[in-house]
Structure 1
Amino acid sequence: MIFLGEKSEMVYYFTGLTGVQRPGGVVPGRILSPLDGTAASVRLTDLYGGLYSGVAWTWSGRKSTLDNDPAT
């Protein structure tokens, strides 16, 4: 993953989550460090049983577009 222009506050990966749980919260040990300040990389495998894996990121001062909490 490469960010052009503005860089995200944090990049992390998730794995083994259901569709409702994804992208989940930040878990220690799953934070990706940009290799050269702009690119982050992780290798993920196919999951079974309807589980998901992927990459997510946060922006400083912005709400995630995947956050569907009606209370916020």
Structure 2
Amino acid sequence: MQIEGTRYVLKPGEAFIVEIPSDHRYYLLEDSEGWEFIFITLIGTKAAECWKFAKAQGSSVLKLSPDSNC
């Protein structure tokens, strides 16, 4: 995955968030066995607040606990 020119390799338990439209692309590496892809669109005032908070954390990559309800 690449966001604004920075390359990220996601590991199991990680996800990414991006704003659309933006300078990003994602792809499966050649040596990967597969991936799980979930696309969620959020709109509205609360979504904008959450996005602002996430961006303030400094990364578009999120680490999700295996015990998470997400």
Fold match (TM-score > 0.5): no
Which one has a larger percent helix, Structure 1 or Structure 2?
A: 2
- Shorter-chain-normalised TM-score: which range? under 0.3
TM-score (structure 2 length as normaliser): 0.26
TM-score (structure 1 length as normaliser): 0.26
Which one has a larger percent strand, Structure 1 or Structure 2?
A: 1
